[in-house]
Chain A
Amino acid sequence: MLQVNAINTYYGPSHVLFDVSLEVEAGGVVALIGRNGAGKTTTLKSIMGLVPAARGDIVYKGASIRDRRPHEIARTGIAYLPETRGIFPSLSVTENLNLVAGRRPGPWTLERIFEMFPLLKERRATGGTLLSGGEQQMLAIARSLLMNPDLLILDEPTEGLAPIIVHEIRDRLRELKTAGMTILLVEQNFHLVTTLADRIYVLGKGQIRWSGSAEEIRADEAVQREWLGV
């Protein structure tokens, strides 16, 4: 569904990604892991067109999206949940959700979202930033689903959240995987990654250093030590 082919990305003069390639198949869960500053967020931003790749190509559903603008890429069915969660402070919970509701046809409706996240229903009139960190992340996930995406991209969805919320997010992601959602996940939680992902890419200093299955990385202590610091 998504092929990233040898992309190189820069912030001004500083070269951050070096020939990064990865592939996400329809219905699969792919994880991208690595230390802080490795280039994980930049990879996702290049896919979304926020920090366009200077060289290499990004192919989604058979067409290059490298030079498309972020709103066009979003409309092709990619939902991106940024590391900062991206909840709009001036908008209430419902307004945050309605921003994307009905843009693309699909199984997710406001009612179904409120069923899956009853807490959001309770707090629907609340301003976006008056929510706790966990509630904001739930809202961000809910909003991504409401885009009825074909590909869901998540940047560290459990970062900085209490264990009980991390469990809830893990359960939701499992449900989505079972339902056949295609997911590209950046995540520091090694346990979460290895229980969820079909395929794992390890990014180090802007380059893909390793790729394989969850069992393989669990067994490969050298990779864990060198590129993850586990």
Chain B
Amino acid sequence: MLTDGGFWIVQILNSLQLSMLLFLLSVGLTVIFGLLNFVNLAHGSLYMLGAMIGYSIATATGSVWLSFFGAPVAVMIIGAVLYKLLIERMRTAGPMNQVLVTFGLIFVLMDIARYIWGTDQLGVTGNIPFYGTIEVFGQFYPSYRLFIIAVGLITYAVLYVLLERTRLGSEVRAGVDDGETASCMGINVEATFFGVFLLGCALAGLAGAIALPAFSATPDMGVGILVPTLVVVVVGGLGSLKGAIVGSLLIGTTLTFGTALIPNFAGIIMYALLVAVLLLKPEGLYPVRA
């Protein structure tokens, strides 16, 4: 198996695909951590809702493409409601309260999803874009999974330009550096943060919607993805876009190759990586605040 070049090509592509899903999730989570100092454990549940809502849109309209746009918008609206009801009030409540409340929220959202969509595995079969396989270095690989990789990379590029090359991006970075001073420059830091939060929710919804055709969706899928996402955020460094992409690639590769080579130890390798980073660079690989 290990001397078979095809194995490596397929696993590398699988790693990239998992990494890009992790990136879409962790980038929202990390900026919310970095900007709002808010620990939102329910971020994984937004991914689950993205998949579920995507399923409903795709089955109701027959268009999977439409679900890629509708699900992020719907999840963004859910995020806005959560922000106004809970998060805004809990901004200064301290990390312990935030962890407890958003941990509880995971189960609330999971039960709501069970109530609406049931507990069966849901999947879409018809009308999947990029259906079929494509030859990559002599290996046949599902085209749709390459599409997931492309969505992740394009999202990274767009976010990079937004953050590094626009005035809005400067305002966000200034807010992460020092919110108090940023407000004295006339920047409405709260409004900026709200916008960033909504974008993070939309990306989580997008991740769920594009994961749906490749995998199946269940109400507990948000729990499984939460841990690796948190590990990415901590390894990459809170609030860092670069940290989110590098951390996602590291963790996605570790999990994929771990599962393929030593299935029982994949999770342990991820934690070992986490511990190693924490020991060597406690603020993560690319800390935003010095």
The interface of chain A, by Cβ under 8 A from chain B, is 48, 50, 69-71, 74-75, 79-80, 82, 84, 86, 88-91, 95, 98-100, 103, 129, 143, 147
Contacts and interface: CB of A to CB of B under 8 A. Distances in A.
Contacts of A88: 173-174, 177-178, 181-182
B174 A91 contact: yes
A70 B184 CA distance: 6
Interface string B91-119: 00000000000000000000000000000
A11 B187 CA distance: 24
B174 A80 contact: no
A71 B174 contact: no
Among B167, B180, B181, max chain A CB count under 10 A is at: B181
Nearest to B239: A90
A99 B184 contact: no
B170 A91 contact: yes
B290 A89 contact: yes
Nearest to A128: B177
A95 B177 CA distance: 13
Contacts of B177: 88-91
A99 B187 contact: yes
B170 A98 contact: yes
Nearest to A129: B290
Nearest to B180: A50
B185 interface: yes
B181 A82 contact: yes
Interface residues of B, number: 20
B255 to A, nearest CB: 30
B178 A86 contact: yes
A167 to B, nearest CB: 26
Contacts of B182: 88
A118 B84 CA distance: 47
Contacts of A69: 183, 188
Interface in B178-229: 178, 180-189
B176 A90 contact: yes
B170 to A, nearest CB: 5
A70 B183 contact: yes
Given A89-B177, A129-B290, A99 B183 contact: no
27 contacts: A48-B184, A50-B180, A69-B188, A70-B183, A71-B185, A71-B186, A82-B184, A86-B178, A86-B181, A86-B184, A88-B177, A88-B181, A89-B290, A90-B173, A90-B174, A90-B176, A90-B177, A91-B170, A91-B173, A95-B170, A98-B170, A99-B170, A99-B171, A99-B174, A99-B185, A100-B185, A147-B185
Contact of B167 (A74, A79, A86, A98): A98
B170 A74 contact: no
Q: Most A CB atoms within 10 A — which of B177, B288, B290? A: B177
A98 B181 CA distance: 15
B186 A74 contact: yes
A86 B185 CA distance: 10
A108 to B, nearest CB: 14
Interface in B148-190: 167, 170-171, 173-174, 176-178, 180-189
A178 to B, nearest CB: 26
Nearest to A81: B184
User: Which 6 A/B pairs are nearest by Cβ-Cβ distance?
Assistant: A86-B181, A70-B183, A74-B186, A90-B173, A88-B177, A88-B174
Contacts of A79: 184
B196 to A, nearest CB: 15
Contacts of B288: 90
Contacts of B178: 86, 88
A69 B180 CA distance: 11
